[in-house]
């Protein structure tokens, strides 16, 4: 827990929130600034700014809980144009992260005017370097995995 973190304060009930579900490790609640009706957040109770700062055992529940909230949103929110949704998790200011406590956005996408607008420009540099980066990434991943083995 971090004393100055707004999401840690929500976990500790020091500031109010509209909670949806919680366990000893995970909390789901409504986003106070929704980009679409039903916009919700799922967070580990462990404080860490970026995904790689969170120990695996504090991440295992996140996707099963997010999945069930997505199903509940489909039941709870009207869907005039379909039942899509985006799961978004930002890391770092340059990647649009404003709250430095890991959070997964669940954003219903019901029509073209609300919800997440995704820009997907193709990177010429990315294309040109795809094989070179793949080789570096494979080696780097091995080093990461060796220092922090995945245990499931
Ligand atoms: P980020 O840009 O860091 O990925 O998203 C942070 C999210 O946290 C935003 O969607 C914002 O509306 C939400 N948020 C910020 N402060 C509060 C708060 O005090 N309560 C709740 N429920 N959501 C918050
Ligand atoms: Zn926190």
CB 107, CB 116: distance < 8 Å: yes
Handedness of CA 47, 50, 53, 54 (dihedral sign): positive
pLDDT confidence of residue 78: 78
pLDDT band at 65 (very low <50, low <70, confident <90, very high): very high
DSSP assignments along 87-122, one per residue: EE---SGGGT--SSS--EEEEEE-STTSS-----PP
Binding site membership of 7 for ligand 1 (Cβ less than 6 Å): no
Q: In the predicted model, is pLDDT for residue 152 greater than 80?
A: no
pLDDT confidence of residue 3: 86
Sorted by sequence, the CB contacts under 8 Å of residue 108 that are 6+ apart come out as 36, 37, 38, 39, 73, 77, 84, 85, 115
Query: Is 83 strand, coil or helix?
Result: coil
**If you measure from the C-alpha of residue 25 to the centroid of ligand 2, how many angstroms do you get, rounded to a whole number?**
13
Question: Right CATH number for 6-117 from 3.40.140.10, 1.10.3720.10, 3.30.428.10, 3.40.30.10?
Answer: 3.30.428.10
Per residue in 5-52, pLDDT (tens digit) is 999 999 999 999 999 999 999 999 999 999 999 999 999 999 999 999
Q: What angle do CA 51, 66, 38 make, to 5 degrees?
A: 110
Atom of ligand 1 nearest to the CA of 89: 4
**If you measure from the C-alpha of residue 76 to the centroid of ligand 2, how many angstroms do you get, rounded to a whole number?**
29
pLDDT confidence of residue 33: 97
Distance between CA atoms of residues 144 and 40, nearest Å: 32
Phi and psi torsions of 55, nearest 5°: -60, 145
Q: Which of 112-116, 122-126, 128-132 has the lowest mean pLDDT?
A: 112-116
Per residue in 105-115, pLDDT (tens digit) is 999 998 888 88
Mean of per-residue pLDDT scores for the chain: 94
**If you measure from the C-alpha of residue 146 to the centroid of ligand 2, how many angstroms do you get, rounded to a whole number?**
28
Give residue limits of the domains in the chain: 6-117
Closest CA to 61 of 25, 115, 97: 25
Atom of ligand 1 nearest to the CA of 99: 3
pLDDT confidence of residue 112: 81
């Amino acid at each position: 827990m971090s004393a100055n973190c707004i999401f840690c304060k929500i976990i500790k009930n020091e500031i109010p929130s509209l909670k949806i579900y919680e366990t000893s490790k995970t909390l789901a609640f409504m986003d106070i600034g929704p980009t679409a009706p039903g916009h919700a957040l799922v967070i580990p109770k462990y404080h860490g700014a970026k995904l790689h700062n969170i120990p695996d055992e504090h991440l295992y529940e996140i996707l099963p809980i997010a999945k069930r909230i997505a199903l509940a949103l489909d039941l709870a929110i009207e869907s005039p144009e379909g039942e899509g949704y985006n799961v978004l998790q930002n890391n770092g200011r340059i990647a649009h992260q404003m709250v430095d406590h890991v959070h997964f956005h669940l954003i219903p996408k019901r029509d073209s005017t609300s919800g997440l607008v995704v820009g997907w420009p193709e990177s010429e540099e990315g294309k040109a370097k795809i094989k070179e980066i793949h080789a570096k990434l494979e080696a780097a991943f091995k080093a990461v995995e060796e220092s922090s083995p995945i245990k499931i």
